[in-house]
Amino acid sequence: MTEMTVGIRELKARLSNYMQQVKAGATLVITERGKPVGRIVPLSPAVEAWVQELVQAGLIAWSGHKLVPMAPVARTRGRRTVADLLLEDRE
């Protein structure tokens, strides 16, 4: 990913051009009188799109269905939670 620095005036004058570069993956650091004041970064893809890219690359296999919640494997006795028991065990 490339990072470019651009002044506010230049950004305002050529906004469409810079937005195309951001869409292509570039990051813009916006400066005012040579000092950074902001950053424009491309949006990260949605999780669904990311998963589909992994499926298409053959890195994962997924049916597209949501997982069915499973019943707990173990239960605690009394009011103590599993987290409480874990912390106690670590001491």
Cα 21 to Cα 24, 28, 50, 91: the distances in Å are 5, 9, 21, 53
- pLDDT tens across 59-88, in order? 999 887 888 888 878 778 888 888 888 898
- pLDDT tens across 6-52, in order? 999 999 999 999 999 999 889 999 999 999 999 999 988 778 888 88
Instruction: Enumerate residues 6+ apart whose C-beta is below 8 A from 51.
Output: 60, 62
Q: What is the predicted pLDDT for the residue at 16?
A: 95
For the chain, give every domain's residue range. Answer: 1-62
Q: Does domain 1-62 have CATH number 3.30.750.210?
A: no
Amino acid 2 reads T
Cα 90 to its chain centre, rounded Å, is 32
Confirm if 45 and 54 have CB atoms less than 8 A apart: no
Q: The dihedral of CA 52, 55, 60, 63: what is its sign?
A: positive
